[in-house]
Every structure is written in C-alpha cells, then in structure tokens.
Structure 1
C-alpha cells in the first residue's frame, strides 16, 4: 500500500522510513508544498499521514488541497495540540480519518495505517459503485434528451467534441465534469412543449412568452441534474451557462465574473460561437462579433477559444472519411449522421452531425416498424473495418 508522510522534521521522517519501509510503499515530503508535488506526480496514495504544525502551509490546509488530488485517500493527522477547535477544523476541511498524538509509538502508527488502508479500499469500492451509478444516470438523461429534443442532444455532443481537445491542451483538472456539463447543457429542453421544441428545431422566431420559457431552461436543467450524486458542480455549470460575465442575464442573481463557474463560462463562449457558425459566421468575423458583445463573455476564455480554434470549432463530419449508405440494421452507436433523419410526418429523429446512440437507433427502429421512416441512412464511422 502506498503511504505518503509529510513532516517538516527530518528526524521524524527518518524514523518513519527506518521503522516502516518493510511494511509499506513509502514516500516522504518535508513540506506541504513538496507533498503536493509528490501527489501530482506519484498519486493517488492509499494513506496520507501529515503533521499539523508546518511552516508555510499547515496540515489542515495541506489535507484540504490533497482532497482534490487524491480524494479517496485515508488521511491521518499527527499533532501535539489536538484541541477541539483543531479537531473540528481538521474533520470538516481535511476530512481526517484519525488523529494521532505526537510522539506516537510505532505499533500505534502501524495499526492506524492498516485501519486507514482498509478504509481506503472500502472507499474505492464505494467510489466505483457510485461512478457506475452516475454514468448510468447520465446515460438515461442523454437518452431522454435525444428522444424529446434531438437537436439539443446534438448540440451537447458537438460542444463536448470541441471542449475535449481544448481542455487537454489547457491541462484542466477533472475534465469529465466539463464533458458531462456540455452533454447535458440542454437537458432542460425536456420540459418544453413539443410545439416549442419544433419551433426551436426549425429556427422559427419565438413569441415573448416563448422566449421567456426558453430562458428558464438552464435553471430547469440545474434542477434535473442537481439531484444526481456527484453532479452538483456540473449542475451549477448548467445553471449559469447563459449568465453574462458582467452579471447581467439569467438567472438574475449576484453571481458575476470569476464567481460564475468556469464550466458555465466555457459553455457560454463555445455555444454562442457554435450558433454563429450555424449562421455562416466563422473565424475572424465570429471573433469580432463576440468581442463586440460587451460584458457577455470571460475575455480570457474567449481569446483562448479563438486561439485554439482560429477558423471553426470541432465538427463531427470529416472530409477525409468516406460516406457509408447503410440500412437500419447496420446502424451502430457512434456513427455520425450526415443528413437529418425525419419521419414521413416531419418529426426530427436525428439531426445531421449528431452521433447515434443506442436509444436514438431504437427510436428510428420504432418508427420504421410503423412505416414512418426508412433507409438508406448516410453516415460516417469512427473506425474503418
């Protein structure tokens, strides 16, 4: 089991190494700053043992930062001053699993580390179960969105496709949260009447009341997503995706500037740029158009977006890949649709540029049984056989 010890006393670290090196896979750090670098390069660790009083950054502050980098680690604090205030702060901020008073016997330390290691293994199992649950919830939500508002799912798919390489270049932490936020950014559309969704799909002008309803979509999306475990931050990204950087816009509250979640600021820039490209405005013209919208966007995000994508955002359709004409039975999840798929009654099933999902394919099959849609369907595939 990997154990990280953090103490500014070199003699203490030497004693840890001498007494424990045969029992555990040890890493040592003589400061909180050095420990964070070790976590970044060598983590995650099963157990983190930290002294409380250290110069520069104390144990509570260190463990609070360590949670972001190694959230499942069991944390033990060594302290000679375990007063109630320190203990409360350590539990609330550092999520400390156990306290040990200094000086601590080798036997007590080994016992505490073994107990913490068992806790770490249990937390990993629970975390994996929770991840599967969250992934299942996200899949259900995207499937429902694809059935109710295919154009909205397609927009989320394209936002995700543009954000993934952008986040990789910027080396952003927890990129999965931004990917899910992009994919579910329009989940609130599931609450809209079908007539209004049809108008949005066709690009028709909306009445004042209809526009007011559409403005509330991000908050509805927040309500739908916030109830899913581990998606609280994502829900906030969805809630504030239409908020202007200067604090105007929706929802009407005091949140503005850097207080707006980064994911929301990213969605605002990328979604508006994607809309301009749909209207035929791209590259420098789109850049100038968005710059002229004073107060709408985070300036840094806007400039980085056009620096990375000077001409166009990512597109699912490739000039290099061949076009396949397939019958319904040959369609598979991940195929990119090259032209809108409508029923004979004008119901949009999948918009051009969307990736097919298992749910959208099943929906096409259901309409095909009713003889309301038929192939061939023109697609591009991710991998050639």
Structure 2
C-alpha cells in the first residue's frame, strides 16, 4: 500500500457467516480502513441501506439464507458504484464464473488470504472506485462547461443584433485569443476559459445606445465616455457567475493597458491578468483588420505596424509577438486576401 496515501476513511464492509472471521477482519484492518462487518447477506443489505455508501464490499460465497452470489448481485443493482470482491474457501470454476457474471466482481480471492494480499486487493478496489467517480465528475464538468458556452454564445447574439458591426467580432476575438494563448503555451483549461471570456468581452455594449454604437463619424468625448462603460457593465452582468475561470475579471480588464492608460481602472503591468492582456491584443487585431462604422479595414502590414508601435507600451510584448507571428504565418483570418 502506498505510504503517502491515507485510506483510513474508506468504508469497507466484510460479509461472512462466521463471527470469528469477521472479528479477525476487524482486528486486522481497523487501523488501515474504516471497517464494518455483517453476519450474512441479508444483514449486509440492511446495513448498506441504512448507512453511508461503502467503497468496497468483500463477501464470502457459501452463506445460509442468502449466498454471496445473490448478495453481490443485489449490491450491483442497488449500489453499482460500490466495488465488489469475493473472499471464499470454495473456489471452483462454476462459482467463480457465477460471481463474475452475476455480481460483476472486481477481485476473486481464496481463503486463506494473507493480510497483505487482501490489503493490496482492497486498495486496488478503492482506486477503482475513485477512478469511476473521477470519470463521472469529469463528464459532469464537461457538460456544465458546454452549457456555459452555449449560454455565453446566446449573450453575444444579443449584442450583435443591436450592433451589426460587431457581428462576428467577439467570435473572431475569441479565436485569435485562443491562437495567441496556444502560442504562449498556456494549458488547455486556461485557454478554454479565455475563449469563453472573449466570446462575451463586449457584452456590456448592450447598455450602450445603438446610435452611439453605430455612429459613422468620430465620437464626442461624452459618447466615448458612454462606450467606455461597457467593461464595467459587462463585469456586472457576470458578477454572480460561478465558475473557476476568471471570466468576470477578464471582461472588466480587456481595455486595460500595461502603461496605465486603459480603462476602467488604469491598471498597469502585472496588475492586469494575462488573459486580459491576450484579449487586448486579439481585440486590436480584429478591430484593425475589419471594417468599423468610423473607418474601413486595414491590411495585415498596417496591423503589424500598429502592434509594433504599442508593444511594451500599451500592449504586452509577449502577446504582441505571438500575435505578429500568427499574422505573418497567415494563421489569423485565413480567408482574407492579405
């Protein structure tokens, strides 16, 4: 048994029709596991029904009233996550096959079984139990993440209905952000969170009057002040969002600049989250390469020139270099004729 892992809280149930054998199990393993015993299959089912779940059940086969095969079959039906094991002195082929087929047995052990061998088998059962639960939790988490992405994409449509010039902008910014993050070597989970945040980074524009959003000429100071509120509004929208990803913070910070000239809080350098710095670059790339109400789209060379001018001043150097490399390699907006 691994010395650095504690199994003392793992609930193990031993089932047998011999009280002396059950007492021996209790004495031998109570310092290693949380051991319970049951005298026969019926008593074991009653115990399973009235107590918290057991991780592993170890049962004899030859028992009166309810034999081990019938008992383990019921455990399989009622408590499918509990790992089921046989420890018997009657180890013929037919019994073994019945146990495996009807009880879905994890281990088939024969008496006498050395305590160390039994401990190893139980630990393997515990690890099997943990693996099953981890896999199930992973499926749940993935479903939750998929549902979250669907919800966030619905939010982006709300903004795009009001502002045709941002149609596709948040999707494109999300794609560019993911490319930059991948080039920087961020781990996939961080990139997924960044992608989701980028999908909604301009969600706060839902509170900006459409006349300001779609104004074809330069904005007045008052109009620009209204535009600048969208980071705060977007942050407030996601204030109660429960997720391990810092989506709210990224939405709030995506217009911050490393020299402190950004908004809404004038953050500098390491005060700004890396994901926010990445979106700042991706947002700039998309803004330059696509048409806006107040100007036509520029080409790749102009975009690279702009990024070089702001590198290390307003925009993070590493993020800019990654973005420029992607532009030069033609990995951003492959369908545009640069």
Superposed counterparts of 1:1-385, under 5 Å: 105-106=119-120, 109-110=123-124, 112-173=126-187, 174=189, 175-199=191-215, 202=216, 204-230=217-243, 232-252=245-265, 255-278=267-290, 279=296, 281-293=298-310, 295-310=313-328, 314-315=332-333, 317-318=335-336
Q: Measured at CA, do residues 198 and 133 of structure 1 come closer, stay the same or move farther in structure 2, by a change above 3 Å?
A: same
For residue 292 of structure 1, give the secondary structure of its aligned residue in structure 2.
helix
* Cα deviation, residue 212, structure 1: 1.0
What's the TM-score, normalizing by structure 2? 0.54
1:280 is displaced (CA, Å) by 5.1
2:256–2:262 CA contact under 8 A, matched in 1: yes
Q: Distance in 1 between matches of 2:317 and 2:256?
A: 14
1:152–1:189 Cα contact (<8 Å) kept: no
1:292 deviation in Å? 3.2
Structure 1 residues 318 and 6: CA distance shift in structure 2, 3 A: farther
Counterpart secondary structure, 2:258: coil
SS where residue 260 of structure 2 aligns? coil
Would the aligned equivalents of 1:283 and 1:312 in 2 still touch at CA under 8 Å?
no
Give the whole-Å Cα distance in 2 for the aligned partners of 1:210 and 1:139: 27
Cα drift, residue 242 of structure 1: 0.7
Distance 1:186 1:274 in 2: 13
**Partners in 2 of 1:316 and 1:281 — Cα distance?**
15
Structure 2: gaps (5+ residues): 5-117, 291-295
- Contact 1:241 / 1:265 at 8 angstroms: preserved in 2? yes
Q: Say which SS state the counterpart of residue 161 (structure 2) adopts.
A: helix
Report the Cα distance in structure 2 between the residues aligned to 1:280 and 1:125, rounded to whole angstroms: 43
Indicate the SS of the match to 1:206.
coil
Structure 1 match to 2:21:
none
The offset of 1:122, in angstroms, is 4.2
Taking the aligned partners of 1:195 and 1:147, their CA distance within structure 2 comes to 13
- Tell me the CA shift for residue 251 of structure 1: 2.2
C-alpha contact (below 8 Å) 2:202/2:234 kept by paired residues: yes
RMSD: 3.4
Confirm or deny: 8 A CA contact 1:225 1:235 kept in the other structure.
Answer: yes
Question: 2:140, 2:177 → 1: CA distance?
Answer: 29
Alignment partners' CA distance in 2, 1:160 and 1:140: 15
**Larger radius of gyration between Structure 1 and Structure 2:** 2
User: Which digits, 9 at most, give the CA deviation of each residue in 1:275-311, with x for residues without a partner?
Assistant: 3334554445443434334620111211221122138
Q: What is the deviation of 1:238?
A: 1.8
Q: Evaluate the alpha carbon distance shift between residue 118 and residue 158 of structure 1 in structure 2; reply closer, same or farther with a 3 A threshold.
A: closer
Aligned length, in residue pairs: 217
d(CA) in 2 for partners of 1:276 and 1:289?
A: 9
CA distance in 2, matches of 1:6, 1:186: 52
In structure 2, the CA distance between the partners of 1:181 and 1:128, relative to structure 1 (3 Å rule), is: closer
Give CA deviations for 1:169-196 in whole Å, capped at 9, x if unaligned: 4443132222222221211111112222
Where does structure 1 lack aligned partners over 5 or more consecutive residues? Answer: 8-103, 320-385
Task: State the alpha-carbon separation in 2 of the partners of residues 296 and 180 from structure 1.
Answer: 24
The 8 Å contact of residues 159 and 271 in structure 1, kept in 2 or not, is answered as: yes
Secondary structure of 1:296's match? coil
